[in-house]
Amino acid sequence: MPLPDPLSMAREEQLLELAHDLAALFARWSDAAEAQGGLPPEVVAGLKASRYPALTVPRSLGGLGASLHEFALAQEVLGRADTSMALVAAMNAHLLGGLGEHGGWPHEVYAQLCQASAQHGALSNSLASESELGSPSRGGLPRTRAERVEGGWRLTGRKTWATGARALDFYVVSATTPEDTVWRFVVAAGSPGVRIEDTWDGALALRGSGSHDVVFEEVFVPGELAVPPAPVSPTSGAWFWTAVAATYLGTGQGALDRLVLYARERVPTALGQPISTLPRIQATVGEMSLTLLQARALLHTVTRAWADPQRRAELLPALAGAKLACTNAAVHVTDLALRAAGGAALGRSLDLERRFRDARAGLMHPPADDQALRRLGEALLTDP
C-alpha cells in the first residue's frame, strides 16, 4: 500500500481551511438567505473574495487547480453549513473543473471565464433547464433560440432553475440555432435584454439559492463568446454529479451534527438526564452515522480513483451510484433527525426542518435514480 503523500495532505488541509472559512460565513447568513430567497449581498461579496471561485480553475490560469476528490471534500464542508449557498458555489466550480478536464470549448472562451473567477471571484453557471424541455439530461432541443447577426448572435428564450441567479456574473446559455444544433453562449449578467423573474419564492427546498428564471430578450452575444457543438466526453457529467453528491452528503452530516448537539443538551424534566442517554436516540444516531459513512466511502473511493485518467470511463457508473447514495442518504438521515428530535424539529431553531426540505431537492438533480441504477446494471451486463 502506498504511503500518503505529505504534500497532497498539506494541500487538502489548505483547501479545507478555505472551505471551512466560507462555511462559517454561510452558516451566519443561512436564515437571512432563506428569508430573502437568495444570497444576501454580504454573502455574495464574501464568496467572491474568498478564492473559492478559483477552486477548480487550473493553476495555469491562476486558480487553485483542485482535483475531483478535493472538490468533493470542500463541497461537503459547505453543504454542512447551508445547502442553498453551497450549491451556488458548486455550480461555478463544477463548470470550470469539468471543462478543464474534458475540454470541448475554445481555449480563449474558457480562459476568460477562468481568469474572471481567479482574479475577481466571478461566478458562472450553466443555464440549460427549461419548463418545456424538462431535464436536459433526458435529451431534446432547447426552446431558447440563437440567430446569427452581424458580429455575433441574438439570443431569445427563458431558462428555469438558475441557481444563484442574482449572484452570477456570467450565464452559460444553451440555445438552438436555425440548423437545429445546440450551441452555448456566454452572457454577462446585466447585459441589455437580460432580466430575472422571481419564480422561486416559496419553493419547497433550496429557498436561499434564489433559483429564479432568467429571461433573454434579443440579447446580443459577440461571436467570440459563442461555443459551437463539440463531441461530448463520456465522462463530462462527473464534476456535476460530484458537486451534487458532496453537497447533499454535507446536508445530511449537518443534520446529524445538529441532532447530536440537541440530544446532549435536551433534558426533559420527566427524564432528568439528556435524551442522548436513551437507547432509541443512540440507535437512531448510529443509523444516521452509518448511512453517511457508507455514502461517503463510495464517493471518496471513486473520486480518489478518478485521478487516473485511464480509469475514468469504468468509474463513471460508480460515480453515478455515489450521487444516488449521497442524495438518498441525505433524505433518509434528515428524516430520522426529525423523528428523533420530535416536535422541536418542526420549528426553525434546530435548523432540521430546512435540511429535511433541502435534502429532497437532491433527488431532482441528474442523474435520476433510475438512470444511475441503469448505468450500474448496464456496466455489469455488457460483454467485456
pLDDT tens per residue across all 384 residues of the chain:
444 555 566 888 999 999 999 999 999 999 999 999 999 999 999 999 999 999 999 999 999 999 999 999 999 999 999 999 999 999 999 999 999 999 899 999 999 999 999 999 999 999 999 988 755 555 679 999 999 999 999 999 999 999 999 999 999 999 999 999 999 999 999 999 999 999 999 999 999 999 999 999 999 999 999 999 998 888 989 999 999 999 999 999 999 999 999 999 999 999 999 999 999 999 999 999 999 999 999 999 999 999 999 999 999 999 999 999 999 999 999 999 999 999 999 998 899 999 999 999 999 999 999 999 999 999 999 866
Q: Can you give the C-alpha Rg of the chain in angstroms?
A: 21
Q: pTM to 2 decimals?
A: 0.95
- Three cell numbers written together for 135: 431535464
**195 DSSP β-pair partners:** 215
Residue listed under C-alpha cell 427563458? 158
- Three cell numbers written together for 144: 431558447
**CA 199 and chain centroid, separation:** 20
Distance CA 384, CA 379 (A): 9
Distance CA 168, CA 196 (A): 11
Distant-in-sequence, close-in-space partners of 236: CB < 8 Å, separation ≥ 6: 98, 102, 104
12 three-class SS: helix
Residue listed under C-alpha cell 466550480? 93
Q: How many CB atoms lie within 10 A of CB 67?
A: 19
- Three cell numbers written together for 233: 466526453
- Three cell numbers written together for 110: 474558457
- Three cell numbers written together for 2: 502506498
278 three-class SS: coil
**158 DSSP β-pair partners:** 215
Distance CA 45, CA 22 (A): 11
Distance CA 42, CA 34 (A): 14
Q: What is the DSSP letter of 130?
A: B
- CA pseudo-torsion sign 120, 48, 94, 168: negative
Q: What is the DSSP letter of 368?
A: P
